[in-house]
Amino acid sequence: MAERHVARRGRQLTKVPPRRLTALEYQQLAAVPPEAEWFANLRNPGTRRIYQADIANFMAFVGIERAEEFRTVRRAHVLAWRKDLERRGLGGATIRGKLAALSSLFQFLCNEQAVQTNPVKGVERPRTEGYQGKTPALSDAQVRQLLAAPSGDGLKARRDRAILAVLFFHALRRAELCAIKVKDIHDRRGVKHIKVHGKGEKLRYVPVHPAAAGAIAEYLESAGHGDKPGAPLFRPILSNVTKRLDAALQPSGVYRMMKCYAKQVGINVDRFGPHAARATAATNALDQGADIAKVQEWLGHASVSTTRVYDHRKSRPEDSPVFKVSY
């Protein structure tokens, strides 16, 4: 399509870039309801899946069948839904999450001037007990046992030692670990860093711990894909899901691996999984005097209040008055 020109100020011509959308495409995009735009803006697949399920649950409860019916929702509908969630025996944290999803949608609709008010605003959300302690932080001895659990010089043992080192020394989420590519391990100002693809497509750069650097080097030496920058760093040894050994390791595979080694070394704690490595690393760093703002940045938390969940400095068992008692 040829460029068009618009005459301005006498003979001066201003170039107008060619139109990239057809008239039909433009009309179709203009007709997209704000509700659909909100879903499209949820970039994280996990968040999108959870929020879609929560909104679908609300729609089924209220009887919404068309997007425009969201404009008829009032606070009474939200209160009735909350009461139904409580009647179904859902936990406080679950109910809070569902209300947060609904509030996010209506806040977007308010910003788009599709509705006048957010009916979720002001609705009291269930109190929940603090999250502190829900995800276990392991002792130093338990971490050493896990790091040493993959024995031998085989490819699987080397890969698993590298995975455990990256998790326990860098506090990554398992999805972040699985997303690492070979090229994401690179120098920044003379120091090896991991380029971490965090939640909400946020990037952060974490220095590589020497123990992890050695484990990664040994693994790549055996795996043989260290010269392929775009390749996933951690790959399956045997795959019954993708049938491809050059694909990225799946988060579920990391979970099963950690549970297997935990059982092997006798670690039997509630809610143990890859997130326990993140909690352990954060707790250990804070115990060693790391600045909580730096830990927040390291973990990729949007709010420091989330980071405080891992701050056990005032509640360490060894500091309890129990151990001061002497008869």
pLDDT digits (tens, 9 = 90+) for 189-217: 889 999 999 887 789 999 999 999 999 99
CATH of the domain at 48: 1.10.150
Query: Residue 179: enclosing H or E segment and its boundaries?
Result: helix 174-179
Q: Does residue 80 fall inside a structural domain?
A: yes
E strand spans, the chain: 4-8, 12-16, 185-188, 191-197, 203-207
Q: What are the helix and strand counts (H, E) for the chain?
A: 13, 5
Which of these is catalytic: 173, 174, 235, 312? 173
Which of these is catalytic: 192, 199, 225, 308? 199
Which of these is catalytic: 82, 161, 278, 312? 278
Is the pLDDT at 168 greater than 90? The verdict is: yes
The DSSP result for 10-62, as a single string, is TTEEEEEPPP-S-HHHHHHHHT--HHHHHHHT--SHHHHHHHHHHHHHHHHHH
Residue 20 annotated in active site: no
Q: Nearest-5° angle of CA 46, CA 275, CA 300?
A: 70
Q: Does residue 10 fall inside a structural domain?
A: no
Residue 173 annotated in active site: yes
Confidence band for 262, pLDDT divided at 50, 70 and 90: very high
* Residue tagged 């974490």 (tokens): 206
Residue 301 annotated in active site: yes
Last residue of a domain, one of 90, 111, 132: 111
- Same domain for 271 and 217? yes
- Same domain for 107 and 176? no
Is the pLDDT at 76 greater than 50? The verdict is: yes
Neighbouring CB atoms inside 10 A of 155's CB total 15
- Same domain for 264 and 191? yes
Last residue of a domain, one of 65, 92, 111: 111
**Per-residue pLDDT tens over the stretch 12-42:** 555 545 556 455 544 443 444 566 666 666 6
- Same domain for 152 and 96? no
Cβ proximity of 170 and 181 under 8 Å: no
**Per-residue pLDDT tens over the stretch 219-240:** 999 999 999 999 999 998 875 5
Residue 158 annotated in active site: no
- Same domain for 243 and 302? yes
* Residue tagged 């951690």 (tokens): 234
pLDDT higher at 70 or 86: 86
Cβ proximity of 164 and 308 under 8 Å: no
Residue 308 annotated in active site: no
CATH of the domain at 250: 1.10.443.10
What domain count does the chain have?
2
**Per-residue pLDDT tens over the stretch 141-150:** 999 999 999 9
Q: Does residue 231 fall inside a structural domain?
A: yes
Cβ proximity of 172 and 216 under 8 Å: no
Which residue type occupies 75? R
Which of these is catalytic: 51, 219, 261, 310? 310
pLDDT of residue 43: 64
Is the pLDDT at 128 greater than 60? The verdict is: no
Pairing, β 4-8 against β 12-16: antiparallel
Residue 275 annotated in active site: yes
Q: Which structural domain, as residue segments, surrounds residue 187?
A: 140-313
Which of these is catalytic: 158, 159, 161, 275? 275
